[in-house]
Every structure is written in C-alpha cells, then in structure tokens.
Structure 1
Amino acid sequence: MFCSKCGSLIIPGRDKNICPVCGHEEKGNRKMDGKVVAKSTEKDVVMIKEEVHIEPLDSEAVCPKCGNKGAYYVLKQTRAADEPETAIYTCAKCGHRWREY
C-alpha cells in the first residue's frame, strides 16, 4: 500500500495504516482470500501474501524417498549473493522435498 500524500510504502496494520514518513493515515484496508487489498482512490493495489509460481519439471532429478525420476524445482538464493543458488526439488509423484546446493 502506498501513501496517497507522499507516495511512501505503508505496511498494512491491524487497525490503522499510518505512513511512517509523513504520518498520513490511509483508510479502506480489507483482507480477501489470502491477499491484502488496499483501496485507493485511483486503483486497487494487491499485495500477494504467499509466493505462487510455476516450477519447471526436471526429468533427471531422482527422488531420494521413492526413487521416482522427475521433480519440480525452484532456485532460491539462501546464502550470500556471491555463492550459487540452492535448488529446492519437489517430487512429482510423492511430493517429497529436498534441496541441492
């Protein structure tokens, strides 16, 4: 949610949404299906509460639990920026999750 007065980012609160920069109070905050929707006079702003994305299928990955060949994966930066990403796999058959550095 952005302040309509100064444009700074406002993190929605439980009761009030007060801008940390100028102190302006925004109104019209409501929750809807896991998303926080902030009403503004110009447009609706939707903040995603949970990251959802399509993971590609790696047909060469073998599940250590069931031995199935094929797993979905996502790359995450879990360590310092100068180190390689971590691949987090999810078995396409049993749903077991594991990671490779």
Structure 2
Amino acid sequence: MLLFCPTCGNLLLVEENTDCLRFSCNTCPYICNINRKITTRTYPKLKEVDHVMGGAAAWENVDSTDAECPACSHKRAYFMQMQTRSADEPMTTFYKCCNQLCGHNWRD
C-alpha cells in the first residue's frame, strides 16, 4: 500500500522511531505515527481472454480428410492449417476427430 504526503504529494516512507513506526516525508517535515496495522487488499479485474485458435467457431466450416485419430482410431478428421511460426517455416495442420463421441484434437 502506498501512502502519499497530504502536504506536498510525495511518497511517504516508513521509518522506525524509538517507540513506534511512523510515516515521514523526505521533502517536507510531515510525520504521522502509525497507531494500528494498516492493510488493504485489492484484487485486479482480469480481462476476458480470446481463444487463440478461434474457439469452437473455428471448426464450423472446415474440410475433412483421411487421418486416423490417435485416441479412438477413427479414420476421418476435420483439419485446418495455420501459420504458427515464421513465414519460411511450413504451416501447422490441426486435426479434430470426426467422431462426435471423441472430438480429440491434435496437430501435425
């Protein structure tokens, strides 16, 4: 927790006095003794994160091909290709099993 000087607006420092702790300002003569424990807890609001691959909508209009699913051995899979590395590298092919009960995802 940061406290600021009410006189000049600079950041207050915590210093140890002979009998207690106190806030003091380096710029002006402001001093405030600390009489009680001062704590605050602030939780940041997290932003909504978009799915990198486009989520479920990315698989709506894709083609299927002959590819064996490593999970259920189904012989057909949906596929899409994306450039995940630099332009001189080949595209990455992502597969999704056509079996509705499986739906396993993998890449090649």
Into which bin does the TM-score normalised by the smaller protein fall? 0.3 to 0.5
* Structure with greater helix share of residues: 2
**What is the TM-score with the length of structure 2 in the denominator?**
0.44
* Structure with greater strand share of residues: 1
**What is the TM-score with the length of structure 1 in the denominator?**
0.46
